[in-house]
Amino acid sequence: MATTPTLYLASSNPGKIREFAGAAATLGVPIEPVPGIAKLPACLEDGATFEANARKKAVHYSTYLDALVFADDSGLCVDRLGGVPGVRSARYAGASADDARNNQKLLAEMHGLIGDERQAHYICVIALARNGRVLVTPEGRVDGLILESPRGAGGFGYDPLFFYPPLGKTFAELTAGEKFGVSHRGEAFRRLLGYLSIQR
């Protein structure tokens, strides 16, 4: 039986690294960070869409090694706010903002919204590339609601505010395995693995 080739993750985001490493352990998929990524020239994430940014990162870092490199771009979209923070999710409260400041800004922007007005969704697009050429861009999405105050100590980003009705918990209240099983990132990654299995 053919084995899945090693996939190199083009990211220095600790939260993403943890989630993909967890997937590697449970799914038996060999994942490694792009070697020396911190010392490589950074990729400017100035695309207008999640797919554009994922493609830019995958293409950029895949030129530094002869292997399969994948990058994801993901974020939170609040329907009532016209889709923001969107591609600026990590920088919503400023270029140097942390998760806490981003969450605080989101809550302030959504002040007074109730019920279905608090609907939101996470989007993740993964781009897989080799030697500067994109091979596939699977996407994942998960729908939920933004709470008025954070709950839970897990996850990262907007997870303490993102309530997932089918499980009755925020993403920050789920175990890593539970979250990856239902999340936007998990869905996109499983689609990536489906592509790789077809290519064997």
Residue 25 Cα distances to 29, 136, 187, angstroms: 7, 23, 17
Instruction: Establish how many alpha carbons lie within 13 A of residue 24's alpha carbon, considering only the half-sphere containing its beta carbon.
Output: 15
Widest CA span of the chain, in angstroms?
A: 56
Name the residues annotated as catalytic: 73
Q: Is 190 exposed, middle or buried (0-12, 13-18, 19+ CB in 10 A)?
A: middle
Q: Return the bridge partners of 8, or none.
A: 32, 69
